[in-house]
Amino acid sequence: MPKRLSREFYTRSTLIVAKDLLGKYLVRRVGRKTLVGKIVETEAYIGPKDKASHSYGGKITDRTKTFYLKGGHLYVYLCYGIYLMLNIVTEKENKPEAVLIRALEPVGKYDFSKIKNLSNGPGKLCRWLEIDKSFNGEDLTKSKRIWLESRGEKMKKSRIKASRRIGVDYAREWANKPWRFYIFENPSVSRR
């Protein structure tokens, strides 16, 4: 039985949430169709101390203010002028921590060859889900167009791998923190 994730799920420690999100389902309603994807790759951003995070140093700007909402909201922003990134805010209000959703495994009738390329990267999954900037600040516990749910599957700990984060080399030693989590040998995990 699918069950929408509650506020309590999101307001826990960011590293716990990042790992716990693996194997959960993201549901996106757009018009008459419903897109569903299983989360297979995440990254934790733990500001203000985390140099790789937009909330580094406790900085608040127009772009990053939704980062400071309580857990369960979305932080969506544009990167490289082309791609949107989808983040799930964690922890309590004014604690700017979040989990970047890096890859989903599409659920439904897709060719295997398509599945591999639809949402195996943070920019691509936003395009697939038709996410736009209006999703910034969306509340996942209330929204009618996007939410997360558990389908009662247990994720084996042995399937979860951790690694350094991707694309944040400018953060130097912070880029080496093992804060990227993914499901081992899942074909939808982003390459590298």
**Contact residues: DNA, CB under 7 A:** 43, 45, 52-55, 59, 61-64, 67, 75, 77-83, 85, 87, 98, 100, 117, 121-124, 166-168, 170, 190
Nearer to DNA, 4 or 70 (CB): 70
Nearer to DNA, 5 or 119 (CB): 119
Q: What is the 3-state secondary structure (H, E, C) of 78-102?
A: EECCCEEEEEEEECCCCCCEEEEEE
Report in angstroms how near the CB of residue 107 gets to DNA at its nearest: 19
Report in angstroms how near the CB of residue 113 gets to DNA at its nearest: 13
Distance CA 6, CA 120 (A): 26
Report in angstroms how near the CB of residue 36 gets to DNA at its nearest: 19
Distance CA 7, CA 71 (A): 7
For 151, which DSSP code? -
Cα–Cα–Cα angle for 19, 21, 26, nearest 5°?
160
Report in angstroms how near the CB of residue 154 gets to DNA at its nearest: 27
Of 4, 168, 3, nearest to 102 by C-alpha is 168
Report in angstroms how near the CB of residue 78 gets to DNA at its nearest: 5
Nearer to DNA, 32 or 192 (CB): 192
Nearer to DNA, 77 or 161 (CB): 77
CA 106 to chain centre: 15
Nearer to DNA, 93 or 153 (CB): 93
Report in angstroms how near the CB of residue 35 gets to DNA at its nearest: 16
Nearer to DNA, 32 or 83 (CB): 83
Cα–Cα–Cα angle for 189, 26, 178, nearest 5°?
40
Contact 21, 39 (CB under 8 A): yes
